[in-house]
Chain A
């Protein structure tokens, strides 16, 4: 490389992030429908669990209140965790504009991270009106501050698991350009095997070992079970260590794929 190494500057990435937040805010109708669909889902989860608890005993010590809280918080997390945040990578590979990105004086993966973070932060803001809507339908239990702090930390780890999983999926576009089916399959598996739809503690005992070992559980299930107290403080360290291990493994896979993929682009000449 001929260009001399410049001192790393942080502010361009802050600008990328702000730009992508502003871009998200322009899709007003999308915001309206995603809040509408959120309201419908909260109504649905309340009705379904109430109907199930009406004539049956609480299974595995989970009260109706705990499961409604779990499902509502799961939907709120989904607003952030289900975003296809590094979609820009796939789009740019598809239309070829990735070639010009490599010419810019920026760190390209960091650009995608900043762009995705802007979108995520905007959707994180949506959690506020969504929570207000949810409280119209359901009562959510709020745990003590210590538990809440552990939940926040675990959610952050889960967010990075989700980020790298999404990045890996979009990275496969270096080799195969049609990835929408793979992406949908992953989203569905994440929601189901991550315990967003049904808490993993309700899964048959024989299957639990397998589902807890998958990265999807590190995204949704761990922070949620910390929130409702099924994971006690004594097991925080162990649970979050598993999440951190997934972050490291998936980050390593992304790095290897990024290096191999970007070399391919240079060989093909864009």
Chain B
């Protein structure tokens, strides 16, 4: 399985080199996508010194943590988003007749993938951490990778749940788009600005708050957290990611066992 995965990345890199112009344009889009979000935050907080006690320095770090987790997810698991289309086209059945696990088969379908977003995210995160004045010690360096991995798993779990719905409903692409929109827009600001109901959803139902808000509040020593949770809540991000991904995988297996093809 590891050998197959190595081959998958070899083909990805070769494909990217083949379509160089296209790769440059997509990287440029990624840059504009994150750049405009950060620039908008900067402009807003130029006019207003703070938002619920969070300054631009804090929010730059908040964005960096989300960007890193999201980029890690996009680099490793973006094929999961394509499952609904593959089911619709009948192409999904190909991964079912292979000897390896079906989900692995999906994730390791070669395409034009390259870790450009992850590299951008790492550079931005390093800059934002320095800018926010967080003390970078051994603790920070050990905890951050775990939190980022947890965040990527939260992203993966939600994507997998939406993709699994495609076994029953043919068109779920719009739903996936809506979930992504909720994620990118709601994680941009401290969760404490939202009403109790919305904060509850973002913490326990679609737990985006664990991708960045709670961990950032821990590192930045913020008080008065959303839902009155203790400051250490952010340290549970890896555990929450793991639990959600196991639940999503169980749901995926449940759907897979009942899948009979779309009738091609």
How distant is B223 from chain A, measured CB to nearest CB, in Å?
15
In the complex, the answer to whether A188 meets B194 with C-beta atoms within 8 Å is no
Is B50 interfacial (CB 8 A cutoff)? yes
8 Å CB interface, A187-241 against B: 188-189, 191-192, 197-198, 202-204
> Which of B51, B174, B182 sits near A51, CB closer than 8 Å?
B51
> Which of A33, A184, A191, A203 sits near B43, CB closer than 8 Å?
A203
Q: How far is the CA of A5 from the CA of B22 in the complex (A)?
A: 42
Known: A33-B177, A59-B48, A189-B36. Contact between A181 and B193, CB under 8 A? Answer: no
Q: Which of B21, B28, B50, B174 is the most central at the interface, judged by chain A CB atoms within 10 Å of its CB?
A: B174
Choose the segment among A37-45, A84-92, A149-157, A160-168 that binds chain B (4+ C-beta atoms closer than 8 Å).
Answer: A37-45
> Which of A41, A182, A185, A202 sits near B185, CB closer than 8 Å?
A41
How distant is B54 from chain A, measured CB to nearest CB, in Å?
10
Is A8 interfacial (CB 8 A cutoff)? no
In the complex, the answer to whether A181 meets B185 with C-beta atoms within 8 Å is no
Number of chain B residues whose Cβ lies closer than 8 Å to a Cβ of chain A: 34
How distant is B36 from chain A, measured CB to nearest CB, in Å?
4
Is B44 interfacial (CB 8 A cutoff)? yes
Residue of A whose beta carbon sits closest to that of B23? A181
In the complex, the answer to whether A204 meets B193 with C-beta atoms within 8 Å is no
In the complex, the answer to whether A33 meets B52 with C-beta atoms within 8 Å is no
Q: How far is the CA of A29 from the CA of B84 in the complex (A)?
A: 15
In the complex, the answer to whether B47 meets A188 with C-beta atoms within 8 Å is no
Binding site for B on A (CB under 8 A): 29-30, 33, 36-37, 40-41, 43-44, 47-48, 50-56, 59-60, 176, 178, 181-182, 184-185, 188-189, 191-192, 197-198, 202-204
Contacts beyond the supplied A43-B198, A44-B186: 4 A-B pairs with Cβ under 8 Å: A184-B33, A185-B29, A188-B33, A202-B46
